[in-house]
Structure 1
Amino acid sequence: MSKKPANHVINHNTATLIVGDVRGIEKHSKAKRSMGRHGRQQLSQWSRGPQEQYLNEKTNLEIQPLNESYSSQTCPACLRRKRPSGRHYRCESPICGFSCHRDALGAINILQKAIYAECSPIGLDTTILVTYLRAEKHWSLNQRKTHQKVQCPKARARSSAQNRALSEISQTSKPKLANSSTSTNSLVPDQSVAVA
């Protein structure tokens, strides 16, 4: 999980590693905009601490958390705040007209806070380069083979368990042989029938 960011940090000779401080984010998940049960569960199971520890070990850099409040809502050119709708941020100011992806906007503002201790305006002619370090959208051939090795035995075990359960059900629904103490070897159904 932390391999791509660690390699990126090492390849670019980074001196300081700053991450958004998201401690306590779980507490705000039941605020005005409810996330739903599934979203809250994913958020509470997020392994943020181990990821930061692995990144620290791999890069030998101390991780400095920085408050990321309003980082994806503040225009870095004119410092106006606007909640972005969707994944893209567009400044409302007709003079500014700044436009950027919301994640890149957050990264720019966190960088400005790290350098200047607050958001400071950047020039409109500033070039913004974004490098995405996300997981692959589609699995590579190796990932697919590895996943298949893990999933196939589970599927076989599950299907054989289902087959056993079905065979047990079918065996109980079949008529049983009568006891040898009875006069004939005829088939007797499971349910007893009262004769009047």
Structure 2
Amino acid sequence: MRVIRDVDDLKDAYSYICESVFLDRKLPEKVFSKELIEFLFIAFDDVMMPFFFKKITEYLRKNEGDRFWMMSLDPDPYLYFGANYNYLGAVEFFSSDTEEDYISALNDYPENSFADALAHNANLLVFFSPEKDFVIYCDRDADIGICAFKDAIRMQNFMNIYGEELLGGKEAAAYYAYGEFQESEKFEKFIDSYA
């Protein structure tokens, strides 16, 4: 696991996210660029659990990947984390890392302010591979994560690994995020965005 502290270490990863995710948009709008066309949905809380790390690493092995990134978008990695800590709200994980490393990354950084750890403070988190075949966009306010893929094969591989923990289709995800509170406008916008 590599905790990102240097701006130069974050530059390429941040650049990729800027190409893949519209940073000026929020759910229920479509937040992904046109290259990411297949979607699955998970609960936000999943990403706080060791099983999420296990599922991601299993997916990477199946797709010949050996690492992935976790990065905060809100708070901003530069303007918040970089300005206040020796930490940029991002971690790169490798195939040799463990579930314990993952939980540590969520809870133990920045070292001098555990209240600002990603597990407690991140409103928007993204997970992605350097191979640029998937992005998982997680929104704490909507309480969901959207797993976006470049093609149906990669999406199916992820679906086979993640299994019953998935929320189901876009309607189920929209209901999970907005239905309970009867936010019909957001519910419909979400379904239109991820059709």
**TM-score, normalised with respect to structure 2:** 0.23
Greater CA radius of gyration, 1 or 2? Answer: 1
The TM-score normalised by the length of structure 1 is: 0.23
Comparing both structures, which one devotes a greater share of its residues to strand?
Answer: 2
Greater RCO (Cα-Cα under 8 Å, separation 6 or more)? 2
